[in-house]
Chain A
Amino acid sequence: MAAVPPKLGMLVAAPLVLLARAVDPPLRWWQRRTGQNGMAAVFLLPNLAIFGVFVLFPLILNFVYSTTAGTNILLSDRTYVGLQQYGRLLDCEDYARRITCREDVFWTAVGNTALFVVFQVTTMVVVSTITALILNREIRGRGFFRAVFFFPVLLSPVVVGLIWRWILQRQGLLNLIMVSLGLDPEVWLNDRGYAFVATIGVSVWAHMGFYTLILLAGLQAIPRDLYEAAEMDGTPPARVFWRITLPLLGPNLAVVLVLALIRGVQIFDEVYVLTGGGPGTSTLYLTQYIYEVGFASILRNPGLAAAASILMGLVLVVLTLIQLWLSRRSEARGAKDT
């Protein structure tokens, strides 16, 4: 860790240390009354309290909200309508034609998100895997390159969105490159197709470093002697890849796939800054739909937004359970092999 001068560290920590000392006597009293496990409760309390108030309670409240109607956020001003909001969301004359749906924007958002997730996750996994494979090689300067790909992960989504929005401007860098290659400049973000591709590209750019790290760690966990044995047998590299690397990387790939899916379904920040959901609704994804219907639009409908977010939540719960099961399984397999 970067060495903080000890004096400065002590100065900053001084009020906290004083507070900690002051808190000790009453906690000792509590400990005498309730024993060690009583103190465990004290230690757990702040975290659980925040979980309870800001995560668990809202989760339950979400179900309540999804059964109410009205524009006001105050629960007391809302009317109970049962499952009407869900009905409204899922009400379509012809499911194949989005325009016949009552909440066609919802279905647009769902369709966009599904398409986005398919392309973005595939691209992300492929690009991350290739990068991890390359970084796994014995190249000096590997640490530098690993950091290079990780850099955009740290950037805030607003910054990422603005950087690429600037590059894709009519007078921006991409058009400069196009022109110098002899091609025509375009107004990229004004075209529905290009905007959609841009959201995929930008989000892959911003997040691939994270997944590359996970896959790289998985690759490095593969024992070297397997490769050495294969080399002694004269196995061609393609075969080594398909028969050794890929199967052993399998669990990590599965985890990365599910993680990317979970994140992809919730995509919002950088897309919102890059395109705002446009042009039209071509890059409107599910989280932005919930945000607009719940808060931003003049035709606010928090109940509808709550219902939509629960539907999205169901998909995410399934994906998270799969992810937990997968990491349990790879842990168990790791323990079994040792």
Chain B
Amino acid sequence: MSRVTRFLVRRRGHGPAWHWTDIVSWVWLIAGTILMFGPVLWLVTSSFKGPAQLAEFPPTILPYEQIAAAVAGYEAPLPLYDVTQLDGTMRRLAEIRRIGTNAQMVDPASPGDRIDVNIADRSPVREVGLATDNYVQPLVTNDFLRFLWNSVFVTVMATIITLLTNSMAAFALSKYQFRGRDAVMLLIVATLMVPLSVILVPLYSVVNATGLMNSLWGVILPTVATPTGVFLLRQYMLTIPDELLEAARMDHASEWQIYWRIVLPLAAPALAVLAIFSVVWRWNDFLWPLIVLSRRETYTLQVGLNTYAGELNVQWHYILAMTVVTMIPVVLVFIFLQRFITAGIAGAGIK
């Protein structure tokens, strides 16, 4: 048997028989793959459809663009339609304009005569094409480029600060013995019990009092002292041998230099995992930015997306395109860095 076939039919049952658990497993895995990736793929293909096509039912799988032809006597190319005439034959006509249920059309070959066609008798001539304007418009004319910048700023700044403050705290908690160390640990554990949703009102008041309202820093600062981050780094730093630190101290290195030049580089793998977590968390933050930011130019992508999607007349073609844009960094993280995240969670989850 070829390797591929052997891979596909590797099973638990003995001999040539399929055990029922094998069938269930494969069905579950295949169905799971379709269910997990399908909606996202549907989002992407939908984002390349024009607004008219998005309103159609039943929807088509692929995005189509209507073909337009240049017709003598008209400036812009006119969209082409296949028209069913009274005698049942089909004819390809170009549409000048539509008024109500009546479409004024013209034969591209003989542009002189105007023909009136009921809109029910015509169907657009289309080929597979991407409505890239869905992506260009919101970024260029609406505020989405600004939103994108805000999201990037928040994510990068928050991650840098998180890495610095959490690693410093983890270093102190792992390599120093001092009175009150356990109390501090307990305090940090206690903050695990205080999720954001419980302190929304007073946190808003604190951020207001510190003048950070409507500022991206008001979004960044409350989120950087993550207890998970401190624990993750501390766990890792405990494995750094104390002898290294002692040797450095004997060479007259200051504690700060020990942190900066020995501990931090050695903790790089754990820092990388925390960095990935932080990037994903901060990029995806929604509730807190929603509360803190009330000026449109300060919105992050998530808040901006929600605002545009909450309008009375949702412009789905723009929303879908911007949703894809919002999704891209996370997809990149997934493709290239996914195994670090899964390793990090599996390690932390058992604890």
Whether B342 contacts A138 by the Cβ 8 Å rule is no
Whether A217 contacts B350 by the Cβ 8 Å rule is yes
Q: Mark B338-351, 1 if CB is under 8 A from A, else 0.
A: 11111001110111
Binds A, one of B39-47, B74-82, B96-104, B109-117: B39-47
In-complex Cβ contact of B39 among A46, A167, A209 (8 A): A167
Whether A50 contacts B204 by the Cβ 8 Å rule is no
The CA-CA distance from A167 to B45 in the complex, in Å, is 12
Which A residues are in CB contact (< 8 Å) with B311? none
The answer to whether A40 has its CB under 8 Å from any CB of chain B is: yes
> Could you tell me which residues of chain B, from 154 to 192, have a CB within 8 Å of some CB in chain A?
164-166, 168-169, 171-173, 176, 178, 184, 187-189, 191-192
The CA-CA distance from A74 to B320 in the complex, in Å, is 39
The answer to whether B323 has its CB under 8 Å from any CB of chain A is: yes
Whether B286 contacts A156 by the Cβ 8 Å rule is yes
Q: Mark B205-247, 1 if CB is under 8 A from A, else 0.
A: 1111010000000000110110000100000000000000000
> Could you tell me which residues of chain A, from 128 to 183, have a CB within 8 Å of some CB in chain B?
130-131, 134, 137-141, 143, 145-152, 154-159, 162-167, 170-173, 175-176, 179-180
**Closest residue on chain B to residue A26 by CB atoms:** B256
Whether A269 contacts B287 by the Cβ 8 Å rule is yes
The CA-CA distance from A226 to B43 in the complex, in Å, is 46
In-complex Cβ contact of B168 among A47, A139, A272 (8 A): A47
Q: Mark A294-338, 1 if CB is under 8 A from B, else 0.
A: 110000001001100110110011001100100100110000000
Question: Given A154-B334, A158-B286, A163-B323, does the pair A57, B28 have CB atoms closer than 8 Å?
Answer: no
Tell me how many residues of B have a C-beta within 8 Å of chain A. Answer: 105
Which B residues are in CB contact (< 8 Å) with A154? 280, 330-331, 333-334, 341
Whether A24 contacts B257 by the Cβ 8 Å rule is yes
Whether A24 contacts B349 by the Cβ 8 Å rule is no
The answer to whether A194 has its CB under 8 Å from any CB of chain B is: no
Question: Given A139-B25, A154-B330, does the pair A306, B225 have CB atoms closer than 8 Å?
Answer: no
Q: In the complex, how many angstroms separate the beta carbon of A62 from the nearest chain B beta carbon?
A: 5
Q: In the complex, how many angstroms separate the beta carbon of A234 from the nearest chain B beta carbon?
A: 12
In-complex Cβ contact of B58 among A148, A175, A252, A269 (8 A): A175
Residues of B that sit less than 8 Å from A by CB: 7, 10, 12, 21, 24-25, 28-29, 32-33, 35-37, 39-40, 42-43, 46, 54-59, 164-166, 168-169, 171-173, 176, 178, 184, 187-189, 191-195, 197-208, 210, 221-222, 224-225, 230, 254-257, 259-260, 268-269, 272, 280, 283-284, 286-287, 290-291, 302, 305-306, 309-310, 316, 319-320, 323, 326-327, 330-331, 333-334, 336-342, 345-347, 349-351
The CA-CA distance from A119 to B249 in the complex, in Å, is 57
> Could you tell me which residues of chain A, from 42 to 62, have a CB within 8 Å of some CB in chain B?
42-44, 46-48, 50-51, 53-59, 61-62
Q: In the complex, how many angstroms separate the beta carbon of B1 from the nearest chain A beta carbon?
A: 14
